[in-house]
Amino acid sequence: MNTKQNTSKLSLDLFLVQGKWAAWFLSTVCIIYVVFRMVVDQNQISFFPFAFQPSKIFMLILGIMSPAVFLTFYVRQGITRRDYFYGSALAAIALSLALSIIASIISGFQHLLTGSQITVHMLNDEASLPLIMFSFFLNVLVYFAAGWLVGAGIYRSGWLIGLGHIVLAMVIVSLSDLFWEGDMSEPWLTFFNVNAADISIAFSFIVTLLLLTGTFWLVRLLTRNVTVKMK
């Protein structure tokens, strides 16, 4: 089996495994959301922003788990580190897209039934559903990449040096939050002396893509020649 086939098969396997976890996760979020709406009765809160923060944490955890769980397993099966990296990256992209699509579909039905607005913090009420969905996709993917960086750093160098990767991942996600949820990253706003309202959507997209590219590149460097723990 050639490299392209290995990568495709691995990405599909990972997507199916992680997709099952994501299905349980989204089901749990839906149940909590229904209970929340029944008990608290805040009609202003739609499903999309309610699921946004938990989805980021879910993807962060998946990223942290990836090296210890999946790298070890697949290398034992004869998969190269290169194929593992590209397969994992493709699976993460597909899973992030699936989460954003499902959250958008649920929110779309809710909007049709109740008229509630589908919003994220940095997009106004006039933003189109595809734009909102794409912002969801990018943000949860950033959290996966940051978690993957932490997991790869700890897997390669242990907890002591891995602490540096944790700090770097915190910087990455906080910068992402700055461009999408400015009021949640007040220290960065003060440091850069900017107003969240002055940050354009196009600029946020560009910076987020740069963060993703840089983070994936660092993960590739960390995992390229890493010693796999064959316990």
**Is the entire prediction scored with pTM above 0.75?**
yes
Interatomic CA distance for residues 231 and 225, integer angstroms:
18
Could you state, in chain order, the average pLDDT of each consecutive group of 10 residues for the chain (231 residues)?
A: 75 94 94 83 72 93 92 86 93 95 84 63 58 86 96 88 89 84 55 59 85 95 83 56
Tell me, what's the pLDDT at 213?
Answer: 95
Question: Any residues with CB less than 8 A from the CB of 103 and at least 6 apart, and which?
Answer: 26, 47, 48, 51, 52, 55, 133, 136
Q: How confident is the model at residue 116, as a pLDDT?
A: 60
Alpha-carbon span 178 to 172, nearest angstrom:
10
pLDDT for 211 equals 93
Would you state the pLDDT for residue 114? 66
Give the model's pLDDT for residue 40. Answer: 73
How far is the C-alpha of 179 from the C-alpha of 200, rounded, in Å?
9
- What is residue 89's predicted lDDT score, i.e. its pLDDT? 95
pLDDT at 231: 56
What is the per-residue pLDDT for 118? 57
Q: Which residue intervals of the chain are DSSP H helices?
A: 3-40, 47-66, 72-76, 81-114, 129-180, 186-192, 201-224
Question: What pLDDT score was predicted for residue 196?
Answer: 54
The 8-class DSSP code of residue 193 comes to T
3-state helix, strand, coil in the chain (%, to 5): 85, 0, 15
